[in-house]
Amino acid sequence: MYGITVTYARNANWEAELKLSMVHLELASCTRWAVIQLANAHGLQITDLEVLVAGRFSDEELVASRAKWEAQVQAQISSRRPNRNDQCPCLSGKKFKICHGQR
Ligand SMILES: [Zn+2]
């Protein structure tokens, strides 16, 4: 399974986008995750492209990105709690009731 992120992020934000995509790759059990940087919102000119595979970043490098993603998932759950049988918003592919919806 593959995933994709399209972003306008540059420099440090590009690096942060790569790490967040790596977290998504792991959660969704993807083998590859393409991160595509576009020049701007007005066209499809690609200015950078990286295809992520497992091991691209160390666990230590991903600590902050994992925490950031977890915070976003929690915020989403508190603003609108998914139904028990919906897919969990964390991208695990599991039903909410057996993932973040467990009590
Ligand atoms: Zn979850």
Q: What is the pLDDT of residues 64-94, one digit of tens each?
A: 999 999 999 999 999 999 999 999 999 999 9
For residue 91, the tally of other CB atoms under 10 A from its CB is 19
Report how far ligand 1's centroid is from the alpha carbon of 58 (Å): 22
Distance 78 CA to ligand 1 centre (A): 13
Report yes or no on whether pTM surpasses 0.75.
yes
Measured in Å, residue 87 CA sits from the centre of ligand 1 at: 8
Using the mean position of ligand 1's atoms as its centre, give its distance from the Cα of residue 3 in Å.
Answer: 17
Ligand 1 centroid distance, CA of 86 (Å): 11
- Residue extents of the structural domains in the chain: 2-102
| Mean pLDDT over each residue of the chain, to the nearest integer | 95
Our CA angle for 38, 50, 19, nearest 5°, is 95
